[in-house]
A and B are shown apart, each in its own frame.
Chain A
Amino acid sequence: MSTNTSTESRSRGKAPAGERVADWADGRLGIYSLAKANMRKIFPDHWSFMLGEICLYSFLIIILTGVYLTLFFHPSMNEVEYHGSYIPMQGQLMSEAYASTLEISFDVRGGLLIRQIHHWAAVIFLAGMFVHMMRVFFTGAFRKPREINWLFGFLLFVLGMFTGFTGYSLPDDLLSGTGVRFTQGAILSVPIVGTYISMFLFGGEFPGTDFVARFYSIHILLLPGIMLGLVVAHLILVFYHKHTQFAGAGRTNKNVVGMPLLPVYMAKAGGFFFLVFGFTALIAGIASINPIWNLGPYRPDMVSTGAQPDWYMGFAEGLVRAMPGWEINFWGHTLVLGVFIPLVLFGLFLAIIALYPFIESWITGDKREHHILDRPRNAPTRTAFGVAWVTAYMIMLIGGGNDIVATHFNLSINAVTWFVRIGFFAGPVVAFIVTKRICLGLQRRDKDKVLHGRESGIIKRLPHGEFIEVHEPLSQEQMYTLTAHEQYKPAEIGPTVDENGVKRKVKGSEKLRAKLSEAYYGEESQIPKPTVEEYKEITSGHGHH
């Protein structure tokens, strides 16, 4: 124990007060062993590593501002007549939820600011998680031993979407009510149990008088509680696994190079919390978000044009808008495929990205730990797959806003919808092919740089009149960095005849795996990195320029 070594120096009364407090705590919590491992923990530096921090900090901001909002918000659907300070709504019938949101916005000093920080932070939180997830995906940071942390992060993203949705629905304004109606309609499409789920969720027919109170406890207790647990687990695993790093001189799979938590990351990360919070407060001060007073209270027979969900639900919205209205009637029942298929696709599409680490590790058969990040170009098939996924996501985001696109760019709504329908299938394929070509091109360029040096832009005239461009040889650091990546060989099915000459059956899964492995690591999918022999041949041939 680390405490034993310092026992002698602990002459009570003489030690500074801070140390005495620490000693007291250590005697009860054992904080010194915890601090020994973590106080000077090394974190590598790269701009993309702060994306996750944005998520963490916006999550904290959401909790802080959310607690404040609960002090004023009334999660009730009791009908009241409005007599507050917002003149245009005088005398209107509305739910208490909507009335108290108006009060937060117009009567509580600073209430509007906190409401807007809360909403902006939620939008940033989801966007941050999306980009953070892409960072982890494209650099292969999800590989062993971090697959479970990938799942934790994925769950946070999905739960974040639903927490955002339930929170967005609470003010019971015309727009959010329309969103809830949409959800209810989608629930109704679920075969067999749809109507039952709807009745149970809304306490009867839509809209009923229960959903605000129910969404409230889901929004402020159930989902954030689970998320808080996941965030803690996510962070513990980041500490436990130690952060990944990019290849570079002195950076190996067996070490982690960077700056210590105390003081550098305490200051940088702690400071970054304030930067994110300050930025969010600034935009909440100057840019209005979700001005519910413009929309009016929800009534199920009223709607406004340009009805849009928050961006993170836009993908689901797009699926619903682009889907043709298929309905199958049989034996007195209706299969509402036009709504149910988008609902299922929404889940499947997210599930693919959640399961990806396990799919890739099955293809590679690689059971080693990976702490060195891939440059996206060095994993062309993965990168292309990721870009295809993002492309489909973005096309559906356009689909979710097809009316906005149509009105802003003066296009036909039908044409936009057809573009989305076709683009959802064609876009990812094109994106996959193009991305893969770009990755291979970049790999070739890296290889070229290692073998021939960097193009210096200096033109030299040789004595016999020939012009050549001078290539500067790379430094050893650069050379190492560009050749440090690993290249898999495609998996083979292996001998189909054992040593006794007996034929074994080749399983379908083996064949599939060999095919996928060929697609990932075959000749078409990666440029062999420069070998020592190639390098020597070229450098000894005409030497350095």
Chain B
Amino acid sequence: MSSQDNPEKNLPTAQDTTHGAVDVADEKHPFADPGLPPHEHRIQDIDERAAKRSERTVALLFTLSMLATIGFIASFVAIPVEKMVYIFPLGRISALNFALGVTLGIALFAIGAGAVHWARTLMSDEELTDERHPIEAPPEVRTKVMDDFRQGAKESQLGRRKLIRNTMFGALTLVPLSGVVLLRDLGPLPEDKLRHTAWSRGKLLINQNTNEPMRPSDIVVGSLTFAKPEGLDEHDHGFNNEIAKAALMIVRIQPDDIKDKRTLEWSHEGILAYSKICTHVGCPISLYEQQTHHVLCPCHQSTFDLSDGAKVIFGPAGHPLPQLRIGVNDEGYLEALADFDEPVGPAFWERG
């Protein structure tokens, strides 16, 4: 403990504790506290006309507030909610919102300005002094409290009757468990939910814009297409949960430009299907540079090279975008050859 306490000699000697207010700085104390300076009167304190002016200013502000409130009510009644107006330099904005905001703003601001002006110019500005008292209780109070506590604790017999004490602590420790258990049904266990998506062998790739299956010839080099698995409709219950994992990004790269062997194998003649969900924290990725084959996540700027297994080439993502293995079915439409072989989206503890 002693090491934590600063020895008294190291504490500073404060200017203000050594001497109280002194009227004149004498030879011995050139830096002494001269005490509160005499109060200086404002113009309003000595000139009644100035005071009257202040009064009128305050009253004017309060009146302005009243007028603005009337303006607020009038705008509310008179201006149709859908009316748009052009106001320089704000552009085309809602007339009602503008009118209500300005009138309410003035109505409130004027009250505040009036009150502050009143306080600053007319209310007494003479500085007053309050004494501070130590927050700590005096020793005799402390002793009394400690004695009372000991008395109370003794009378409770808590310390003496260990059986009561221990069982009480046990009960109090256990009872919150009920509350914890009740939280169990907040959601299901993770199990392998994050490992599977709506994709499986034979599922057609459906263009997100046209809602039609796609032929290889629909996809030209340099294009970017978003796709979903067949049978997934946005009106379906649970569509959002499924699309959050199954969303697909399709690009076509000249097979010669594809650097990674597996990437090429899993493609169909250079048509590559990657998960659209960023492996960082799960934003959909959609900024594609067709010349470099880089794709950038607009949320945290992770950059992936689609021609090279979607490797991370910049930014905070930790692993490549999963690639979906695709082929063409008998009718010539693009289809998935399997589900993703790894979990899509952000990494997690059980991912491995």
Contact = CB atoms under 8 A, between A and B. Distances in A.
Interface in B297-343: 298-302, 312, 314-319
A369 B119 contact: no
Contacts of B67: none
B170 interface: no
A292 interface: no
A329 B352 contact: yes
Interface stretch (B11-19, B45-53, B137-145, B154-162): B11-19
Interface string A130-166: 0000000000000001000000000000000000000
A49 to B, nearest CB: 14
Contact of B349 (A194, A288, A320, A324): A194
A92 to B, nearest CB: 10
Contact of A186 (B277, B281, B284): B281
A208 B10 contact: no
A271 B115 contact: yes
Contacts of A107: 81
B230 to A, nearest CB: 16
B102 A286 contact: yes
A194 B123 CA distance: 60
Interface in A155-211: 178, 181-182, 184-186, 188-196, 198-208, 210
Interface in A238-259: 240-242, 247, 249-250, 252-259
A263 B241 contact: no
Contact of B115 (A193, A240, A268, A324): A268
A264 B108 contact: no
B179 interface: no
A507 B3 contact: yes
Interface in B84-108: 90, 93-94, 96-102, 104-108
B13 to A, nearest CB: 8
Given A185-B345, A207-B240, A327-B319, A281 B287 contact: no
Interface stretch (B124-132, B217-225, B254-262): B124-132
A301 interface: yes
Contacts of A242: 130, 132
A510 B188 contact: no
A109 B81 contact: yes
Nearest to B314: A414
Given A145-B135, A255-B132, A334-B348, A275 B113 contact: yes
A113 B97 contact: yes
A338 B119 contact: no
Contact of A480 (B15, B76, B131, B280): B15
A199 B187 contact: yes
A254 B132 contact: yes
A258 to B, nearest CB: 6
A365 B299 contact: no
Given A196-B189, A200-B183, A325-B318, A189 B348 contact: yes
A333 B115 CA distance: 64
A195 B350 contact: yes
B134 A307 contact: no
B171 interface: no
Nearest to A418: B314
A201 B187 CA distance: 7
Interface string A279-317: 111111111100000000001111111110000000000
B116 interface: yes
Q: Which of the four size classes fits the interface of chain B?
A: 35 or more
B126 to A, nearest CB: 8
A279 B111 CA distance: 12
A203 B238 CA distance: 13
Interface in B240-277: 240-241, 243-245, 247, 276-277
B213 interface: no
A321 B301 contact: yes
Contacts of B108: 274-275, 277-278, 281
A476 interface: yes
Nearest to B282: A185
Given A109-B76, A271-B112, A275-B109, A255 B283 contact: no
B282 A325 contact: no
B324 to A, nearest CB: 14
Contact of A110 (B76, B105, B302): B76
For A270, A300, A338, the residue with the greatest tally of chain B CB atoms inside 10 Å of its CB is A300
Nearest to A335: B349
Contacts of A267: 115-116, 118-119, 123
A367 interface: yes
B333 to A, nearest CB: 21
A520 B94 CA distance: 56
A188 B105 contact: no
A301 B243 contact: yes
Contacts of B130: 41-42, 242, 255-256
A271 B116 contact: yes
A339 interface: yes
A510 B7 CA distance: 13
B105 A279 contact: yes
A535 B351 CA distance: 73
Nearest to A241: B135
Given A109-B96, A299-B240, A301-B276, A93 B124 contact: no
Contact of A278 (B3, B4, B5, B109): B109
A257 B112 contact: no
Contacts of A483: 15, 31
Interface in A409-439: 413-414, 417
For B10, B35, B97, the residue with the greatest tally of chain A CB atoms inside 10 Å of its CB is B97
Given A185-B345, A492-B10, A274 B111 contact: yes
B82 to A, nearest CB: 6
25 contacts: A42-B130, A107-B81, A108-B81, A109-B81, A178-B283, A196-B189, A204-B188, A205-B241, A255-B130, A271-B114, A271-B116, A283-B101, A286-B90, A299-B240, A303-B298, A305-B298, A307-B299, A329-B352, A337-B318, A371-B132, A476-B34, A477-B34, A486-B15, A490-B10, A532-B29
Interface of A: 40-42, 79, 85, 93, 106-110, 112-113, 116, 145, 178, 181-182, 184-186, 188-196, 198-208, 210, 240-242, 247, 249-250, 252-260, 263-265, 267-268, 270-288, 299-307, 320-327, 329, 331-339, 362, 364-369, 371-372, 402-403, 413-414, 417, 450, 476-477, 479-480, 483-492, 494, 507, 509-510, 513, 530, 532, 535-536, 539
Interface of B: 3-7, 9-17, 20-21, 24-25, 27-37, 76, 81-82, 90, 93-94, 96-102, 104-116, 118-120, 123-125, 127-132, 134-135, 183, 186-190, 193-194, 208, 226, 228, 234-235, 240-241, 243-245, 247, 276-277, 280-287, 296, 298-302, 312, 314-319, 345-352
Given A188-B348, A254-B132, A255-B130, 7 more contacts: A257-B36, A303-B284, A321-B316, A476-B32, A480-B32, A480-B34, A484-B15
A-B pairs, 6 with minimum CB distance: A285-B101, A185-B281, A365-B6, A278-B109, A271-B115, A274-B112
